[in-house]
Amino acid sequence: MFGYVRPYKPELLVKELTRYQSVYCGICKQIGRDYGQLPRLALGYDLTLFAVLLLSLSPDQPPEELAGCISNPIKKRPMLKGGEIIRLAAGLTILLAYHKAADNARDEHPVLGRTVQLALAGAHRKAARRYPSYEQAIHEHLGTLHELEKGAPDLAAAEHFGRLLESFMAQAAPLASPDPAIQAGLSRFGYHLGNWIYLLDAIDDRENDCNNGSWNPFSALDPTIAQETARTLLQQHEMEMDRVAALLPYDRDAGLMGNIVTVGLLAARDTILAGHRLGKI
């Protein structure tokens, strides 16, 4: 959906990259099975981390299959098939993409936003019926955020997206572990990840938002001060995520998780703050 949460590919082992791609492609295939082929275009990297993290702590793993990708149907690659975590990541992809389109329709991209909303309407209804508590959390937290965005620029807006991802992790944590301490750690990780995503997206969009008069939490700050403020806040959330991730008892994928949290997030942050775009993995 946002595309900022990703591993740093140059430092991934081949087996770690293969694992990451198998989760990513598994979510994509699951979207196709559950919601149709067009909604697969909503897939992004952010919920791949959500699935990788939960799967890394779970003793139960979905089976792996060799299948063709929609972008390259001839070449078969390993991908995860089914399981509650993959199905949940697919459903949340649809829910978040639909609400992001609704947000765009209200703001700077009304035509594109309404077009995407229309394309995802059926898939969204199905995902909302399947995961009503997650849909309710989106309504509550994004509704509060929209109200805040009617006022003066306020960096506290990031916390509301943090609370949303905290809610996601709290609800999904039992799929990974029955341990209350681990579940609490996952919730805390989600909180800091949500703050991080919102702040990076806001500083990435700051110039465009200022030019077209759209609300942005950094718009009241001088560009240089906005950059340094964003860097400081992002680093704080990165450190908190690192602390939580370092304490989790991984069953697998510790190297992949370490790459994303300690290298991937930092590389994405530095790329955006330098004014560059993030490419595909």
More confident residue, 230 or 279: 230
pLDDT at 107: 66
Rounded mean pLDDT of 91-111?
82
For the stretch 10-51, pLDDT in tens is: 999 999 999 999 999 999 999 999 999 999 988 989 899 999
Distance, in Å, from the CA atom of 279 to the CA atom of 268, rounded to the nearest integer, reads 10
pLDDT tens for each residue of 134-153: 999 999 999 999 999 889 99
Domains, the chain, in order of start with CATH, read 9-273 (1.10.600)
The CA–CA distances, whole Å, from 90 to 17, 134, 163, 276 equal 20, 13, 20, 29
Say which residue, 207 or 110, is predicted with more confidence.
207
66 bridge partner residues: 78
More confident residue, 179 or 68: 179
191 compared with 280, residue with greater pLDDT: 191
Tokens in use for 242?
Answer: 């690192």
Residue 115: the pLDDT is: 81
Beta-strand ranges (E) seen in 34-148 are 64-69, 72-80
Contacts of 158 by beta carbon, 8 Å cutoff, 6+ apart: 194, 195, 198, 199, 202, 217, 233
> Is residue 1's pLDDT more than 60?
no
Which residues, 6 or more positions from 19, have their beta carbon under 8 angstroms from its beta carbon? 52, 253, 256
Q: Which of 55-59, 109-113, 119-123 has the highest mean pLDDT?
A: 55-59
Question: In this predicted model, which residue has the larger pLDDT, 154 or 104?
Answer: 154
User: Tell me, what's the pLDDT at 108?
Assistant: 65
Q: What is the mean pLDDT of the chain?
A: 93
Residue count (the chain): 281
Is the pLDDT at 154 greater than 60? The verdict is yes
pLDDT at 73 > cutoff 80: no
* DSSP SS3 for 78: strand
Q: Which residues pair with 77 in a beta bridge?
A: 67
First to last CA, the chain: 15
Sign of CA dihedral 186, 191, 195, 201: positive
Q: Which of 172, 134, 191, 168 is nearest to 57 (CA)?
A: 172
Q: Is 61 left (phi over 0), alpha (psi -120 to 50) or beta?
A: beta
Taking the C-alpha atoms of residue 163 and residue 193, their distance in angstroms, rounded to an integer, is: 10
